[in-house]
Amino acid sequence: MPIPSDAHGRLTALREFGTDPGGLSADIYIPESFRKNGPLVVVLHGSTQSAESYDLGSGWSTLADECGIALLFPGQRKSNNALGSFNWFKSGDIQRGRGEPLSIFQMIKQVVDDHAVDPARIFITGMSSGGAMTSVMLATYPEVFAGGAIIAGLPYRSAGNLMEALVRMKGYGGPSDGTLEAFVRDASDFSGRWPTISVWHGGSDNTVDSSNADSIIRQWQNIHNVEGPPTRVEEVDGFPRRVWCDDMGRAVIEEYMITDMGHGTPISAEGTEGLGEAGKFMLEVGISSTRHIARFWGLTQ
């Protein structure tokens, strides 16, 4: 029987999921509303956070109840990183078939097998180091995901060690746009439909500079064949949203820049559609990234 892993009993520990070369933990939430061939969302916490605290702040399990979504929460261990950050910049943890990416892939496979998840509806999101690791997963295992959402994160392989990581977080230096694109293409042998990309960032983020959001978009634009200015710019809940659509009119990249917000996940906890709870790096700004990301992926009812 699954063992509740947090005080309010929302998540349960996934004990067995392969060789786990990255030494990660895993928690899941399978709501009563989940049905066979339902979707799965993988949620990656940020530094100093846990799966439980990120779920509480973001409201993912509440939305899962509403919409019948299975959730997987990979977790970092302090023995791997003193801040509890995913190691998105270490060579052994940013390649397909190795380290933390392989651990997360193994978790996903286990949940898909255990709960009859639709393999065509697997998505991934994360904030800060979890956002940067989302970039890693989208590049190294693109065939697994229909879409990804990167919150306050960085591009794939923008840094190769801790010193570079700290510099890139401040918005300095980094590989060229062409090199960033090549990194994604070279990370696997994938040749199918690439995952859609949702990018969220605070305009006043002093921890991970917002220039990283632009770099993520440029990393994926040519891959999706949507170079140049956005197809449309609109306002959603008072914030600018830029959207790039492919030749078929499908939105493949979107960006929300949350004006005056610092480092964290944007939430809207109030009202009938409120989700989550404000806290450290979970910022009440009147827009729910969780709800809008799920809507972008076609998961909301």
CATH value at residue 156: 3.40.50.1820
Residue-wise pLDDT tens digits, 20-36: 999 999 999 999 999 99
Q: Tell me if 6 is assigned to some domain.
A: no
Residue 3 lies in a domain: no
Indicate the burial class of 187 (C-beta count within 10 angstroms; 0-12, 13-18, 19 or more).
buried
Q: Is 4 a domain residue?
A: no
Structural domains counted in the chain: 1
- Whether residue 30 lies inside any domain: the answer is yes
The predicted pLDDT at position 9 comes to 63
DSSP-based helix, strand, coil % in the chain, nearest 5:
30, 20, 50
Q: Is residue 231 in some structural domain?
A: yes
Q: Give phi and psi for 89, each to the nearest 5.
A: -115, -5
Neighbouring-strand partners of residue 40: 70, 122
137 within domain boundaries: yes
Residue 266 lies in a domain: yes
Residue 215 lies in domain = 12-296
Residues belonging to the active site = 128
Task: Convert the pLDDT of each residue in 55-114 to its tens digit.
Answer: 999 999 999 999 999 999 999 999 999 999 999 999 999 999 999 999 999 999 999 999
Instruction: Flag whether pLDDT at 42 surpasses 70.
Output: yes
Q: Looking at the domain assignment, is residue 5 inside a domain?
A: no
pTM: 0.96
